[in-house]
Every structure is written in C-alpha cells, then in structure tokens.
Amino acid sequence: MRTVGKPRFAVRTEKLNFWYGSFQALFDVDFNVRAGLVTSLIGPSGCGKSTLLRCVNRINERIGNVRTEGKVEVLGHDIHAPEVDLTQVRSQVGMVFQRPNPLPVSIRKNILFAHGLHTPHKTTKAEQDGIVESALRDVLLWEDVKDRLDRVATELSLEQQQKLCIARLLPVKPAVLLMDEPCSALDPKATAAVEELIWKLRGEYTILIVTHNMAQARRASDECAFMLMGKMVEHRRTEDLFLTPNSQKTADYIEGRYG
C-alpha cells in the first residue's frame, strides 16, 4: 500500500562512506528506510550501526575530524547539499539517545524547547499548554506528570525521562525518529513500555532504531537491517531476516555465534 504524495522511502543512503579521522567506519552503504515503518539496525558492537544512524541527522559531525562521502537523502532531499540548513534537517529528523538526556529544566520547558527553536513567532500560554499536553499524551506520559509539569525533568524515572525525550521531538512534527539503543539504560519493564510506545508511533513517523537486543528487533520492527564491519549485509522484512537469512553471516549473528 503506497501513500499518495509521500515518498516511499523516508531515508536513503547511496554509496555512503564515513571516516572518523583515518578510521573508516562505513563502507559503501546503500540503505533505504521505508516511510511509516519501524526499521531496526542490528549488528555486533562497532559494526557501524550507530554511525549510520548518526549520519542521518549529521550529528556525528559535532565531534570534528570526520569525513563523509556518498549521499544521504531525507524525504528526497540531499542533506549534504550546500544550501541545506542543518537546523531544518534536524527538525525533520528527531533523535533519541542511549541514555535519556532531558535538559535540566522543567518538564514543560523540555517539551517546548525544540518547538521554540523552530517557531519564530511567540506562542501564547494556551497554545503552549496544548502543545505540552498533546506531546505528553502521545507518549502516554500525560497522566503521570500532568500535576508536576514545572518540576525538573531529571527527577523523573529513567523510563519517564526517555518517554519525555521522545515527546519533546513531536511538537516540531518530524518525519523521522532516530533511536540509538533507546532501551539500553532501562529495565525490562520500562523497555517493554518504551517498545509499546514506539509501536504506537509507527505509521505517523518513520522510525529507525539501533538495537543490541535481537529479541527487541524481532518483536518491534517491520524491517531489519544487519550490518557487519561497516558494511550493510542484509536488509529485509524482519521475519524473513530472522527465519530465512540470505547471508551466512546474518545466520551466524542471529544464532549468537558472535556479537
């Protein structure tokens, strides 16, 4: 089923190579992420899956001394084109990090932060209240925190913090959500809650999620891509990849022979 007017792929990379200094982390990666689905990236530590994810919003350039070759397209736009405004790219591509990283301000201000960056005009208190409530409702956090919106966000539990980190991306209406092992700091119960949330956001957002946890990739993604040593090995529907892997390397990995 194809949605009219929307590109089929939210993110595309073409012959993407990436270096940290002289170390090459990605080799000719071609990767197409279907719009509106959850795609998981799996592979052993150091295989380049986080690097690939961080190429999509160019956040990996902040450490300096890195080099990119090849093409990354978001919604059909080459994000390395000279006229591209990175702040625009990042309003379209939200990111959730391994460790929850809410800003050390109130819950309310956390939700309004990105919105404030991308909204040139002033918003009224009522508009802001609406934004905060709808973002928190979307991540199933409203009932928990509605009475303490002015409390510092870092007081919340890790699960709540991570949900808040997802919620604060929503007011700017991104098309893509990048998640870099979003559950690795959480206990199993919190993991299940965040996974459930990711599944709920599916459809409205294109979600690209890096995970170490194969069970998670298997139960909470539509498509799955396996990477090894900076190369894309296999990218298929999740159930196909896990049941009948094309590559022997994929089979070895998902059967736990390494990684």
Partner 1 sequence: MAEKSAVPSRLDQRDASWFIDKLFQVLMFVGGISAVIFIIGIFVFITKEGLAFLFEGFSFLEFFGSINWRPTSTNPTYGALALIVGTASITGVAILVAIPFSIGAAVYISEFATGKTKETLKVLVELLAAIPSVVWGFIGLSIMNEFIIEVFDVPIGLNVLNAGIILGLMAAPIMTTIAEDALKAVPDKYREAAEAMGATRWQIIRQVVLPAAKNGLVSAVLLGVGRGFGETMAVLMASGHAINIPTSPFDSVRALTATIAAELGETAQGSEHYGALFALGIFLFLITFIINLAADLVVRGIRKK
Binding site for partner 1 (CB under 8 A): 57, 59, 62, 64, 86-91, 94-95, 97, 99, 101-105, 113-114, 116-118, 165, 168-169, 172
Residue (119 or 213) nearer to partner 1, CB? 119
What is the closest distance, in whole angstroms, from the C-beta atom of residue 21 to partner 1 in the complex? 13
Residue (173 or 257) nearer to partner 1, CB? 173
How would DSSP label each residue in 177-241?
EEEESTTTTS-HHHHHHHHHHHHHHBTTBEEEEE-S-HHHHHHS-SEEEEEETTEEEEEEEHHHH
Residue (64 or 76) nearer to partner 1, CB? 64
Q: How many residues does the chain have?
A: 259
What is the closest distance, in whole angstroms, from the C-beta atom of residue 145 to partner 1 in the complex? 19
Burial class (CB in 10 A: 0-12, 13-18, 19+), 34: middle
What is the closest distance, in whole angstroms, from the C-beta atom of residue 87 to partner 1 in the complex? 4
What is the closest distance, in whole angstroms, from the C-beta atom of residue 169 to partner 1 in the complex? 7
Closest by Cα among 43, 104, 80, 89 to 231: 43
Residue (139 or 232) nearer to partner 1, CB? 139
